[in-house]
Amino acid sequence: MNQVDYLRISLIDRCNFRCLYCMPEGTELQYILQQNLLTDQELITLIQDVFIPLGFTRFRLTGGEPLLRPGVVELVEKIAHFPQTQDISMTTNGFLLAPIAQSLYDAGLTRINISLDSLDPDIFEQIIGNHGRKRWQQVWLGLQTAYDAGFDPLKLNVVVIPGVNDHEILDLAALTIDKNWHVRFIEFMPIGNGDLFGDRGWVSSAELRDRIRQRWGLTESQVRGNGPADVFQIPGAKGTVGFISQMSECFCDRCNRVRLSADGWLRPCLLNELGQIDLKSALRDGVSTLELQEQVRNLLTFKSEINFKQRDSGTVGTYTRTMSQIGG
């Protein structure tokens, strides 16, 4: 097990998209009440007095959609200000990004991942569930604005859905040829959405690599990120293509992260709620940060016993939240 030094922080459970793989049509969500969200000060206290003393140096802001959180630029600036912070990044759908991309960069955000599951505006609308509300152009503008603001390289996340966008793999990979963009193909995970795409709800990374290799060739890249992606490069390309293969190629032994939900629950694994800690309630009840450090330290020990491959046996416990509520 790698040293766990990476905290994924969900800032809000709401999202302005309703993506098929995250919030399937018909899903009824119970959103967290405002008073039950971690406040900015509570979040800063946890980072400064609990996580940093335990060796956490990398922080990723997620949602829902993190740009829906009021004051997100100021929050980035506070986290970036800690001398121990080596990396602060964000995952966003990009729709609200263009007006504040430069402010986020200036505040100290070091990296940004933008979800872009299709280059076809009609397929994009189908995936995000907006039924005719044209949003692709605004996301593309956010992407371009972020790159111009200084986020170089820029990362794009693509959840590959068979029969929906898997025919676009080569077009998406081609984005890496002329620009320093890192495209990450992610195997679909059946979390909170059952058998949404039938018996085979995901396309393996090995199959995607073969398609790209047959078109251009593919070599291992010297570029490495902070996460579990296997990174490759089209010969001569400026950017890279990566593959996150949680369904076909277990990477639990490389996992270096834990997840903090918007309402303050710390969970050791995306697929496990059994070992989670309610840090928000503990803070509000006056539990000392030293005691919280000990609770988190125990959770990290528990994390080392979890293996993603156990998901089919039921031994990793239950998960009652959708991906948007967990902070994917």
Cβ atoms < 10 Å from Cβ of 121 = 14
Average pLDDT of the chain is 86
Do the Cβ atoms of 232 and 210 come closer than 8 Å?
A: no
Position 217 pLDDT exceeds 60: yes
Position 227 pLDDT exceeds 80: no
Q: What angle do CA 325, 308, 275 make, to 5 degrees?
A: 60
Q: What angle do CA 141, 159, 89 make, to 5 degrees?
A: 60
What is the C-alpha separation between 110 and 327, in angstroms, rounded? 19
C-alpha distances in Å from residue 38, one per residue of 52, 137, 251, 302, 327? 18, 33, 30, 24, 14
What is the C-alpha separation between 97 and 80, in angstroms, rounded? 19
What pLDDT was estimated at residue 252? 67
The mean per-residue pLDDT over the stretch 51-77 comes to: 97
Residue 5 structure tokens: 């030094």
If one compares 198 and 157, the residue with the highest pLDDT of the two is 157
The mean per-residue pLDDT over the stretch 298-322 comes to: 59
C-alpha distances in Å from residue 263, one per residue of 10, 207, 269, 317? 8, 38, 16, 20
Determine if the pTM surpasses 0.95: no
If one compares 249 and 65, the residue with the highest pLDDT of the two is 65
The mean per-residue pLDDT over the stretch 207-233 comes to: 87
Position 315 pLDDT exceeds 50: no
pLDDT band at 323 (very low <50, low <70, confident <90, very high): low
Three-state SS at 148 = helix
Fold classification of 6-326 (topology level): TIM Barrel (3.20.20)
Residue 267 structure tokens: 């969970």
